[in-house]
Amino acid sequence: MPAKPSRKASGRSARSRASKTSARTSAVGRGTDPARVRAILERLEEAYPAATCALKHEDPFQLLIATILSAQCTDERVNMVTPALFRHYPGPKAFAYANPTELQQEIRPTGFFRNKTKSIIGASKKIVEEFHSEVPQTMDQLLTLPGVARKTANVVLGTAFGQAVGVVVDTHVQRLARRLDLTKNTDPKKIEQDLMAAIPRDKWILFAHQLIWHGRRVCQARHPKCIECNLNKICYSKDKTV
Ligand code: SF4
């Protein structure tokens, strides 16, 4: 019968495992250490060089409406609804004076359709009446539109206008920023501040898209596919599956 490993030996092997893990992570530091952030960005760039917004749209206004519809709903479902919707309502004026009951039924598959109808009609009216039917291009102005908070404003500013004013923090970015130890916060506003401090500004727009793509494809909420993840060696999340 093979001899059981002595306590001393198993202690040594545990120490050796711990030191190997620590050597792997210490090569690029921990948390928001700049070398580690660079390594994360390089790996995301490698995996998703062309990550972009998955919501179908042809102009900033359509992107705004699609983003409002995407709250608590998948982009796929929004993309099923919007082509017919944008044909029926070809711009801010058409949405501003839409029949609410009819609009509710048209966007019903995206969920929360009563509130979303109020937001869409309210935002469209304000765009028509106060912004000459053009989507405003500053964070402060966007935040005055009904139904628009920082996430939606950041999507529109980043994707439609190429302006890095903040970082989009949706459910994927929230989860991954914590798993990658780029924040300890749970409040989206604080997470955004942490990411703005850790990530170089010229990467803010692409970085958010890349995290969203990674969250959908690999680092999923329930069963992250760590074995397929190219961030595996520098990730020490307690949610890891390998
Ligand atoms: S190793 Fe796992 S938990 Fe860490 S980022 Fe990759 S998929 Fe997510």
Residue with tokens 């009819």: 102
Probe residue for ligand 1, chosen from 174, 231, 236 as the CB with the greatest number of ligand atoms within 8 Å: 231
* pLDDT number for residue 5: 42
What is the rounded CA–CA span in Å between residue 131 and residue 135? 7
**Close Cβ partners of 221 (under 8 Å, ≥ 6 residues apart):** 171, 175, 215
What is the rounded CA–CA span in Å between residue 66 and residue 96? 15
182 CB near ligand 1 (under 6 Å): no
Q: 93: CA distance to ligand 1 center in Å?
A: 45
In order of start, what are the domains of the chain with their CATH numbers? 39-52+167-234 (1.10.1670.10), 60-160 (1.10.340.30)
Q: pTM for this structure?
A: 0.87
* pLDDT number for residue 3: 42
Q: Which parts of the chain sit beneath pLDDT 50? A: 1-26
Burial class (CB in 10 A: 0-12, 13-18, 19+), 92: buried
